[in-house]
């Protein structure tokens, strides 16, 4: 897990810088040559993001299903305190509470 944290510490700023640099280039020099240059130098980023999106969707769905499963388990074993007034009055009367 430690190596994953170190990897993300380095990778996230690098990816953010590449995306920011591409946005700046397209903002200040919106020509065909600039678009070709960005596509030529950023194609690995597009592939990496593609490889990260697919597992990300699977992880999101897994976490959502686990949360739903935990909610169903809690609902199955938790008893909500619902009092039936007629039953309560009968028990109270039989015990001599009134």
Q: Domain residue spans in the chain? A: 2-95
CA dihedral 16, 22, 27, 32 (to 10 degrees): -170
* Predicted pLDDT of residue 78: 73
The DSSP symbol for 1 reads: -
* Predicted pLDDT of residue 81: 62
Tokens for 8, please give them.
């993300």
Show pLDDT as tens, one digit a residue, over the chain (98 residues).
567 777 778 888 888 888 898 889 889 988 898 888 888 888 888 788 788 888 889 889 999 999 999 888 888 777 666 666 777 777 777 787 55
């Amino acid at each position: 897990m430690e190596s994953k944290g170190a990897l993300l510490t380095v990778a996230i700023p690098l990816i953010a810088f590449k995306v920011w640099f591409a946005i700046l280039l397209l903002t200040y020099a919106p020509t065909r040559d600039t678009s070709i240059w960005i596509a030529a130098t950023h194609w690995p980023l597009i592939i990496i993001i593609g490889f990260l999106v697919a597992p990300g969707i699977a992880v999101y769905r897994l976490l959502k299903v686990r949360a739903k499963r935990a909610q169903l388990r809690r609902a199955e074993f938790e008893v909500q305190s619902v009092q039936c007034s007629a039953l309560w009055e009968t028990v109270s009367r039989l015990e001599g509470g009134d």
